[in-house]
Amino acid sequence: MTLLPKLAVRLHGGMAVQQCVAQARAAEAAGFAGVWFAENPFARGILPAAAACAVATASLQIGAGVFNPFNRHPSLIAMEIGALDELAGGRVRLAIGSGIGSAIERMGMSYARPLTAVAEAVAMVRALLRGETVTSTGKMFSIDRVKLDYVPRADIAIFVTGRGDASLKLAGEIADGVLLSNMCAPGFAARAAAVAQECAQAAGRGAIGIVQYMSCCVAADRAEAHRAAKRAIGEMLPTYWALGARLPAARTALMDGSAIAEAEFASAAQRLRDGEDPAAVLDDRFVAAFAIAGTVADCCAQLADRATAGVTEVALTFAGADATADMAYLGAALC
């Protein structure tokens, strides 16, 4: 039997609450394991949609994140995630990351020591969820005799995001899992999983979860699915390539195992910025690297490859014309 990762659906602040609820219900009906809510700077906050989906579903895991401790203090993260989990009947997971530095600085906040901020946030949130009275003076955050006024679930899973080795090692040492963003090539995903798992085992913690965000386009017509995937990738590639120009780890995440040369990435990003059609700019190597796309059989094989690379869960953004129908179509075959 082919080993597949668990399937989830990625929702985000660019979607109205009603859209999120419709997709969450469709995901549950299709047999998916969960949803993850991506909170992006200056879009909708995800808590209203996450709460609505918690009420609208019965078994679906509700993943909240990525929260960052710069614009949401660790004590507030604990307050909110504990309450959301209570509403969901114990189905919530949390992801914490350092966020997008440029957006945080635009809010007038310092983006100093992002890795330290994540480590301190995870420690504070865990202690507060355990019902402890916490006093801590860290390098980034301080709290003085803080205790939640209600009893949350103490073992809410906390994932950490990251691309660099230091972030991946930290996740292995302190987190229940790693969350990898969109536009991570196969070679990078495999290496990230290996680094995090090795550090988790060295810390005596056993295996942890490896979640990867990916676009998904499934159709009986492979060419149709690939065209849709190229549109989805084309919307993201210029931004991620620009990020890679500033952060070596982001460029490595794009390129490692993609079979695409740096010059080809740069040319594609510029052509997309100039308004060219993604279907004309991107070839099938981009689809293979950054999407789950094609027929159901194609998608099954691609998901199996991610499982072989060490990814335990894939959170899919359905980029076709009818996301709920595509979930049902894929779920009927795989879930």
CA–CA distance, 212 with 1 (Å, rounded to integer): 22
Count of residues in the chain: 335
Tens-binned pLDDT, residue by residue, of the chain (335 aa): 579 999 999 999 999 999 999 999 999 999 999 999 998 888 899 999 999 999 999 999 999 979 999 989 999 999 999 999 999 999 999 999 987 777 777 877 777 899 999 999 999 999 999 999 999 999 999 999 999 999 999 999 999 998 999 999 999 999 999 999 999 999 999 999 999 999 999 999 999 999 999 999 999 999 999 999 999 999 999 999 999 998 899 999 999 999 999 999 999 999 999 999 999 999 999 999 999 999 999 999 999 999 999 999 999 999 999 999 999 999 999 88
For 13, the enclosing helix (H) or strand (E) is none
Alpha helices for the chain (secondary structure H) = 17-30, 47-56, 74-88, 101-106, 114-129, 165-174, 186-202, 222-246, 248-255, 262-273, 278-281, 284-290, 296-308, 323-334
Q: Say if residues 97 and 68 touch (Cβ distance below 8 Å).
A: yes
CA–CA distance, 87 with 177 (Å, rounded to integer): 23
Rounded to the nearest 5 degrees, what angle is found at the Cα of 66, between the Cα atoms of 63 and 67?
110
Q: Which domains does the chain have, with CATH numbers?
A: 6-219+293-334 (3.20.20.30)
Residue of 149, 151, 167 whose CA lies nearest to 159: 167
Q: Running DSSP on this structure, what letter comes out for residue 62? A: E
CA–CA distance, 299 with 334 (Å, rounded to integer): 9
Q: Running DSSP on this structure, what letter comes out for residue 183? A: S
Tokens 């052509």 -> residue = 271
What single-letter amino acid sits at 4?
L
Distance of CA 283 to the CA centre of its chain: 25
